[in-house]
Amino acid sequence: MKVHDLKPAPGSTRERRRVGRGIAGKGGKTAGRGTKGQGARDNVKPGFEGGQLPLTQRIPKLKGFKNPFRVEYNVINLDTLESFEGDVVDPDTLREKGLVHKHGLVKVLGRGELTRKLSVSAHAFSKSAAAAIEAAGGRTEVLPPPFGHGRPPAKGNALTNR
């Protein structure tokens, strides 16, 4: 079967009724519009909702939306961890060195090479980063988020300390 072979199931489509073609048949004279009133005339704007604020005015002007439950991470890469002094890496030690912002969650990403054994604790790891740390003989520990394992508070996690 090809696209040009597709057609609706028998009986599922009908010809459209041509209205306003004389008094014979169903669609003559008022053509299903009743008598008098706004709906019988040609002056109803498309999208008119009876005086209620129309949908086009109710929705935001700009496209898209900002997800209030988005979880943002401060990222750090393996090449930065390679030059890190010490064997234990956690968000607090990274903040002391000024490598990540003082607030928010920390995620380790896999850019660069890691040749030494490190014990890394963070809130999230990319698969390549976790594999590289394990391959170098180190270990990874995923820290729980401060808002529990459910949905973060609205407006994201920018206000959390750790």
Taking the domains of the chain in order of start, what are their residue ranges?
73-142
The letter for the amino acid at 15 is: E
- Higher pLDDT residue, 160 or 121? 121
Whether 122 shows a pLDDT value over 70: the answer reads yes
Residue 162: per-residue pLDDT: 45
> Distance between CA atoms of 154 and 68, rounded to whole angstroms?
5
Dump pLDDT digits (tens) for 39-65. Answer: 888 888 888 888 899 988 888 887 777
CATH of 73-142, one of 3.30.1540.10, 3.40.50.2000, 3.100.10.10, 3.40.50.720: 3.100.10.10
Residues 6+ apart with CB under 8 A from 10: none
- 123, exposed or middle or buried, with CB in 10 Å at 0-12, 13-18, 19+? buried
Whether 132 shows a pLDDT value over 80: the answer reads yes
| CA distance readout (Å), 46 to 17, 18, 85, 120 | 21, 21, 68, 60
Q: What is the arithmetic mean of pLDDT over 110-121?
A: 90
Whether 154 shows a pLDDT value over 80: the answer reads no
Average pLDDT taken over every residue of the chain: 86
Q: What is the pTM for the complete model shown?
A: 0.56
Residue 107: per-residue pLDDT: 95
pLDDT band at residue 156 using 50, 70 and 90 as cut-offs: low
> Distance between CA atoms of 127 and 130, rounded to whole angstroms?
5
Residue 23: per-residue pLDDT: 84
Q: What is the arithmetic mean of pLDDT over 29-38?
A: 86
> Distance between CA atoms of 42 and 22, rounded to whole angstroms?
18
> Distance between CA atoms of 78 and 86, rounded to whole angstroms?
14
Q: What is the arithmetic mean of pLDDT over 75-83?
A: 91
